[in-house]
Structure 1
Amino acid sequence: MIPYGRQIISDADVEAVVAVLRSDFLTQGPQVPAFEQALAAFCETPHAVAVNSATSALHIACLALGVGPGDTVWTCTNTFLASANCALYCGADVEFLDIDPRTLNVSVPELAAKLEAASAAGRLPKVLIPVHFAGLPCDMAEIAGLARRHGVAVVEDASHAVGARYGDGSPVGSGHHSDITVFSFHPVKIMTTAEGGAALTRDGALARKLALLRSHGMSREPEEMRGAPDGPWYYQQLALGYNYRMTELQGALGRSQLPRVPAWVDARHALADRYDQELAGLPLLLPWRGSPARSALHLYVVQLDEERTRVSRRHAFEALRAGGIGVNVHYIPVHTQPFFRERRAQSLPAAERYYARCITLPLHAGLTVEDQDTVIARLREVLQ
């Protein structure tokens, strides 16, 4: 089976992890802080806080921004469940936004109209979570302007977008358009720490909150304590936190992987160029690649053109899987999930239409031209 995504592990990655196994620290040692410093430098931002998953990063991002019972968080429905669940973990509610059919990211005009209506009704969200779907950055300059106008905090869910760049050329994660940016380092993403994630910010106070929340709400820093410490062994719990720490093994793997991200993104673009060329004559809607931003191209998602084919998405999916092509579907709109539908019924037609005809094709930096040719050939057979 040719997978839609997979990790690339080099001998240097293995050696980095083995070195940690032979060291004195498997957790809370020097590797994670070193990875955080490298990631912050890579993204041109002052602070990176590494955690055990992007889900954890989203959770503590909401907590650090004060999300709690009675608040509402808005996010795009074309995403993974974690982008919404993080609000519920804080006791808040969540509402979903529809997509732009071209970018598959949040519809900025809909967001603007919804914010105006919410402002008039006194029901503005506490936090907005735009999602950089498939690695393509949202129009964060526009989104940030809207959010600032209404006093709404912004958390970028950039789980797909390590190595991406905004339209102005600055790296995703630099933090100029949001309060916090979240990355994922799951094995199918651009780079991996096995499981893992990070929250990046330009705000030092927010960074300290994030670091506190990832480790039980506990501090050993005398300047953060309430009263003088009893001695050098002393610690205080200052907030209700969680055990969301990243291990030293993961930090070492992340440090080893990070320098290769630009080359991996370049490789994904080259493969996407081949897909664009070879699939042009098929009854498909190909990903829009006309943005001034540079996508990390975590996913290459096609949509069946219903006006040019009678092949259903289900038939195409099953036929491709039967032929050894590990296609997938990204995403089932979160607002249609039973859990969320029972909380609040919403109709978001652009996302629903997109979902009904989308298929994710294999795309990762380790995909060979021969395997890609097999994907293309099988897809032609299914559709023609």
Structure 2
Amino acid sequence: MSSTYQVSSRIVGNSGAPVGPYLIPPSFSQDRPDTPLVIDVPYVRGSAAASVACAIARGGDNTDFSLAWAPANAPSVAKVTVQTAHLYSDKPEDRAALFASFNAFRVALEQMELGSQQCLAPGGADAVVRAVAASIPLRFDEVLGYHYGLARGANVVDLTPGMRLRIDTGGYDFVAPSSAWNGFGAAGGSTCTVSRSSAQDVCFDPFLGTMATSVTLGTPAWIGGLADLAALGPRRHFRLVHPRTATGPRQTSAAPAFGRTPALLGADTLTDLAAATTAYFRDGTCVTATSGRPVVSAAFAGRTSIVPEIPVKVLGEWRYLPVGSTIQQLLDFYSPLFRWQMASADFLQKTRLNRMTITGLQGNVTPFGPVAVVFSQTTQYIAQPGGGQLSQWDLPLLQGDTFTSPWLGV
């Protein structure tokens, strides 16, 4: 076992053909596929009495994750147990089952936090989810799904505090009636910070959020700018969705329907958020909340593109990069030639990626902090079950990552 993240072609030792690359978390044992994984997450217990079990058992859509608490001498430590059948498997159906269990476990955690017994502290469900996502082995094309809900081909991403939205608008250029030059063109852009309130709600732009300005947005709401984003109000969850079919730049015969333009969906529960997502893609309709505040269904007006960005520290300076950016794309910013130096031991020794995480495996309750990612001395590309190939340099960057290299000046 290692105290760092490791890039590996396999989850278990050297058995079978490589299906990775996988990101192996610190203290994860690759030679014990018959032993359930236990993840310790400190400081998340709510105000519930010690006599309240506050446990989550496996069942239904969740066949892999359960939660209990440490002995009485450490009541604030949540112990998440992950079963082995799907965790150590390379089979696509098993990886999909593990992800489905993870999402069902998220719902159970949220219900535990919001319940009357207050089993989890405010924000505790999110802390457990992030610790679990950082403590299980993930193939590179799974990383964004567990951390941001960005599964391949799903066209959705869950917004988290610290992100930034880059909004590129398209304005309509009218030249003459029936002119072939009529159409939408680039009209400018803006950015908006995703933040979090003390009530653990996601909101937009801390400054505009303090303004007592009433804006009528309708149902579904239409977003024309930053003022409309702030007017959406806070919700526990916000999700950015992009349509699977969009109008072209010259299609102006009718206003685009909800479901054909990018939109923001907001809800106070993951269950309502999932229902709103299904309705958006199915027939462009809105849904009614089953609990909490009304569900937000807000589309961006015009022909707009929205890109969520995350802060990454690159060579000593913080930069916002699009969600989905990889190590290889980061290096390409400086020179594509670095790709051909990656196999050298000298490059690997001098290039550093640190990932902010809670290393909760094997009873290690080390507080949140940076953990190094160690790359292997290989440039091998591995075929993926769904098609295409991945190398170790296709590792997606996450919010808070720190990248340094003396070869690039820092």
TM-score (ref. length: structure 2): 0.26
Q: Which has the higher helix share?
A: 1
TM-score (ref. length: structure 1): 0.27
Q: Which has the higher strand share?
A: 2
- Structure with bigger gyration radius: 2
